[in-house]
Amino acid sequence: MTSAIFVENLQKSYGSVTAIKNISFQVAAGEIFGLLGPNGAGKTTTLKIICTLANPDGGRVEISGVSAIDNPRHARQKLGYVAQEVAIDKVLTGRELLELQAALYHLPRKLIKDRINLALALLGLEEYADKKAGTYSGGIKKRLDLAAGLLHQPDVLVLDEPTVGLDIESRSIIWGFLRQLRQAGTTVLLTSHYLEEVDALADRVAIIDRGLVIAEGTPSQLKDSLGGDRITLRIREFSPPEEANQAAELLRSLPCVQEIIINTAQGNSLNLVVNTQSDALMQVQQSLQSAGLPTFGIAQARPSLDDVYLAATGRTLMDAEIAAATSRDAKAEKKANMR
């Protein structure tokens, strides 16, 4: 595999806080590669190091064979980076912003006009180009930000949450554009909180949790590795642990059940891996009924990337996000009380 991005044994701490323990992955030239994980997992820190915006404590990072650590200036020439927060001057027009960006990239003057017109056309921005950016919607601003990151036609485009907070139409336009980039041979590395976005776009995925890669492969490989369908079961809306454990022990005896995870973060719900060739849903319901256990809710579905995360960590990605947000709020409150 020809690596457009090569990351090996990456480590980074901020004081006593470890952001990245040990992360390694490779991105092939011309593929879309997704980094998936909750806030605080190490995704954004990894992107900043790849984009030469932060120095690691250890490890290697190469962009098209160029060390981003030893030769950051050369590596930046091969990179386009679009951050999660849109950075746009509201007073300038879209075209003026792209002209400024072209000057910062030191693009030859004879190329600038054609490059800008091409970027505007690719992202459907012609009608907005000469209006002030302060009048743009969130989706148009994000598309202009993407155009700015592509003016110098980089080998690798790095995107941090490219569609967060956007409406369905804007997300669809950006999805289509990223697929066009892949067809043209551009390598795309993206992070996203949207599981369906990574599933739909990424050729391969690395799932990060607490500064480590816990799973890697194509979306299909990761989901198929779990084996069978998933049944999500709630005995009650909020089941006591002993009742959830009782149900788990009962259901483990069924031939159709391959694995059971009790999700404590979601009211002790049960997540079952079941044989796809059986009437598993009916067997589970009948078994619970015979034991006198209620069923608050039950559903069967094919495995998702969230199931992959759950199998690896014992919690869903949403659970991890909530836990991270709660931890941040608690730390902020403690800091405020100390003042």
Residue 1 reports pLDDT greater than 60: no
Confidence class for position 276, pLDDT limits 50, 70, 90: confident
Residue 2 reports pLDDT greater than 80: no
- Strand order of the sheet with strand 32-36? 66-67, 58-63, 3-14, 17-28, 212-217, 204-209, 32-36, 187-192, 156-160, 79-82
Residue 131 reports pLDDT greater than 80: yes
Give the per-residue pLDDT at 21.
95
| 173, two tokens | 């336009």
Average pLDDT over residues 41-54: 92
**What count of Cα atoms within 13 Å lies in the side-chain half-sphere of residue 208?**
30
Give the per-residue pLDDT at 243.
94
Average pLDDT over residues 60-65: 95
Asked if 36 contacts 206 with a C-beta cutoff of 8 angstroms, the reply is yes
Round to whole Å and give the CA distance between 305 and 318.
12
Percent of all residues in the chain with a pLDDT value above 70, rounded to a whole number: 94
- Whether pTM > 0.75 for this model: the answer is yes
Confidence class for position 336, pLDDT limits 50, 70, 90: low
Give the per-residue pLDDT at 224.
84
Residue 335 reports pLDDT greater than 80: no
Average pLDDT over residues 246-270: 92
Q: Whose CA is closest to 236, among 225, 247, 228, 222?
A: 247
Asked if 296 contacts 238 with a C-beta cutoff of 8 angstroms, the reply is no
Tell me what percent of the chain is helix, strand and coil, each rounded to the nearest 5.
40, 25, 30
Give the per-residue pLDDT at 26.
96
**73-108 per-position pLDDT tens digit:** 999 999 999 988 887 888 999 999 999 999 988 999
Asked if 49 contacts 61 with a C-beta cutoff of 8 angstroms, the reply is yes
Q: Whose CA is closest to 298, among 230, 234, 249?
A: 234
Give the per-residue pLDDT at 183.
92
Backbone angles phi, psi at 150, to 5 degrees: -110, 0
First to last CA, the chain: 54
Pick the residue with more confidence: 326 or 37? Answer: 37
What is the signed CA dihedral for 254, 305, 199, 322, rounded to 10 degrees? 140
Residue 52 reports pLDDT greater than 80: yes
Give the per-residue pLDDT at 165.
79
Confidence class for position 232, pLDDT limits 50, 70, 90: very high
Domains of the chain: residue spans and CATH: 3-219 (3.40.50.300), 227-302 (3.30.70.100)
**205-224 per-position pLDDT tens digit:** 999 988 999 999 999 999 88
**298-324 per-position pLDDT tens digit:** 999 888 888 888 888 777 777 777 776
Q: Cβ atoms within 10 A of the Cβ of 243, count?
A: 14
Residues 6+ apart with CB under 8 A from 74: 66
- Angle at the Cα of 311 (from 305 to 270), degrees rounded to 5? 105
Give the per-residue pLDDT at 83.
87
Confidence class for position 8, pLDDT limits 50, 70, 90: very high
Average pLDDT over residues 183-202: 90
Write the DSSP assignment of 81-101 as a string of letters: EE-SS----SSSBHHHHHHHH
Give the per-residue pLDDT at 331.
63
Round to whole Å and give the CA distance between 106 and 132.
24
**233-247 per-position pLDDT tens digit:** 999 999 999 999 999
